[in-house]
Structure 1
Amino acid sequence: MSANNYIATPKRTKEILANYKFFFKKSLGQNFIIDANILKNIIDHTGIDKDSGVIEIGPGIGALTEQLGLHAKKVLAFEIDQRLLPILGDTLDQYENIQFIHQDILQADVKASIRDNFSEDQDVHIVANLPYYITTPILTKLLQEKLPVESITVMIQKEVAERMAAKPSTKAYGSLTIAIQYYTMAEVVMHVPKSVFMPQPNVDSAVLKLTIREKPPVYVANEKYFFSMVQACFSQRRKTLRNNLTNYLSGEYDKETISMMLDNIGIDGMRRGESLNMEEFATLANTFYEAKQH
């Protein structure tokens, strides 16, 4: 197929929208990509090859789906918008390796879909152009379910991508950073201009690649408690660790006890949450969790 016939061109996208009298739903955060080169660059970063399986979330009219179909063995795409299914069925009719599931990814049993559609020894990747308003809930679900996938590559709001890939002691670093980097190695691999979308969004985009870790980089005694303590340390960014923890643990410990426990593990209570690396957060959470058990 010549590049001029790809779905991801302004001309072809406009034709498809006109043919099906399709209108964008703001509530679904729909922005379609109209530049095939951008899509090919994204796929280059994913590590997909002709033997790979791919899960796509929100295929839209199939711009990214088409490119995935050309590069992977099988593509399974989840689409929530019923109106798009007949469009996808027509525009991607010639691709026998693409299958659509009409379901909200937040409700889907993705693990079962992977088991039913891909072979056990196949490398599976998740690729998506995610709606900005629902990026974090989707990624949180996918990571917490510990899916048998190699990587998750997503186009998301630039600011959110930078928060997920941030380093300690930076403005972007926060509890979301820790949650993402506990499960993955996160890297912003591309910046994407607004001009390659229809309609143009109000914010800049970036492509974030999350390579799934075989095991977390730190030992934590209890994951739920670890994440709750991390959130507590960032609850008021300008406050010290000691003050944030005193607020969070009121009724359990007074300020002096908290100071003493922090001193015992070599963490200065006057520091702020953004200055701690993941190892320090793990030590802090494990210390307070173990104290709770006695």
Structure 2
Amino acid sequence: MENPKKILKKYDLHAVKKFGQNFLVNNNIIDKIVKTANLKDKDGVIEIGAGIGHLTNKLVNVTQKVVTIEIDKKLIPVLQSELKAYQNLKIINEDFLTLNLKKIISEEFKINQKIHVVANLPYYITSQIVLKLLENIEMFDSLTLMIQKEVAQRFCAKPKTKIYNNLSVMCQFYCDVKIAFDVSPHNFTPTPNVTSSVIYFKVNPKFQLDEPQLFWNFVRNCFFNKRKTLINNLSIYLNNKEKAVNVINDLSWSLTIRSEELTFAMFYQLFNLIKIK
């Protein structure tokens, strides 16, 4: 493909603010993203946000099948024209957040094929997209995502730090998570106001969790107000302060403990104790 800036000029394309578009125009960064994803030629890839197709172009050359999801309908003819030579590419013009992932994967990929997600995510819906991926994590082998650096740091955050939150707990339960490298604003057009990071999630295939939806809703509620102690958030969740105090006492925890001090194991212990109370 031609240089990203030439493609933008060729089709008279401009970033659409409502889609949070920032086009990556540095091919070296694109190569680093693909290298970080550690893809094999028999693998399948779901790409979220094809943009003008430069990352897509790299992905179809190193994997067996790529399904790319692009919400902006004006970019679809560009992708179809620039990537018309590839038979192992499926372009879908839909909103990823409303997409039926199970249906797409069953229709487009082989049974037992390793599926990876690779994406340059819009900042404003990063958490929503990551949450959807985690809720369907059993379908994937890895996630390689370029997101705002500050958000990437939260996903990797450890207990007893100010940026540790419910998604930190969730990400690190399902995956081994690491920041691969940072990407400065000048690598995009238009230039964003923040630094980005490429973060790599290697899915842990051994995860097992009873009642996952109930449990993760419980964890979110524990972080409902980070300025408050755990006992305050737990009282709201249970609608009963006395019960909240009792379960914390049963665990011999301090009544001043905060949610950011709890490990995954502690959250799960607390969740299970509440169920039997």
Short-chain TM bin: over 0.9
1:145 aligns to what? 136
2:120 aligns to what? 129
1:30 aligns to what? 21
Instruction: For 2:40, give the aligned amino acid.
Output: D
Q: Is contact 1:52-1:124 (8 Å) kept?
A: yes
Q: Is contact 1:126-1:149 (8 Å) kept?
A: yes
TM-score by length of 2: 0.93
Separation in structure 2 between the aligned mates of residue 267 and residue 123 of structure 1, nearest angstrom = 42
Asked if residue 74 in structure 1 is aligned to residue 65 in structure 2, the reply is yes
Gaps of 5+ in 1: 1-5
Q: Is contact 1:123-1:150 (8 Å) kept?
A: yes
Higher radius of gyration, 1 or 2: 1
2:241 aligns to what? 254
Asked if residue 16 in structure 1 is aligned to residue 3 in structure 2, the reply is no
Asked if residue 241 in structure 1 is aligned to residue 227 in structure 2, the reply is no
Asked if residue 53 in structure 1 is aligned to residue 39 in structure 2, the reply is no
Q: Is contact 1:130-1:156 (8 Å) kept?
A: yes
Asked if residue 88 in structure 1 is aligned to residue 75 in structure 2, the reply is no
Alpha-carbon spacing, 1:34–1:137, altered in 2? closer, same or farther (3 Å): same
Query: 1:223 pairs with 212, 224, 238, which one?
Result: 212
Q: Secondary structure at the match of 1:209?
A: strand
The 5 Å alignment of 1:53-202 reads: 53-202=44-193
2:270 aligns to what? 284
**CA deviation map 1:226-271 (0-9, x unaligned):** 2233223222223222232223323xx334x433321222322211
Q: Is contact 2:234-2:241 (8 Å) kept?
A: no
Separation in structure 2 between the aligned mates of residue 182 and residue 132 of structure 1, nearest angstrom = 23
TM-score by length of 1: 0.88
Separation in structure 1 between the aligned mates of residue 59 and residue 238 of structure 2, nearest angstrom = 48
Query: 2:251 pairs with 246, 265, 276, which one?
Result: 265
Separation in structure 2 between the aligned mates of residue 147 and residue 279 of structure 1, nearest angstrom = 21
1:3 aligns to what? none
Asked if residue 212 in structure 1 is aligned to residue 197 in structure 2, the reply is no
**CA deviation map 1:30-50 (0-9, x unaligned):** 111111111111111212011
1:83 to partner: Cα distance: 0.5
Q: Is contact 1:246-1:258 (8 Å) kept?
A: yes
Q: Is contact 1:193-1:204 (8 Å) kept?
A: yes
Q: Is contact 1:222-1:289 (8 Å) kept?
A: no
Q: Secondary structure at the match of 1:210?
A: strand
Instruction: Name the count of aligned residue pairs.
Output: 277
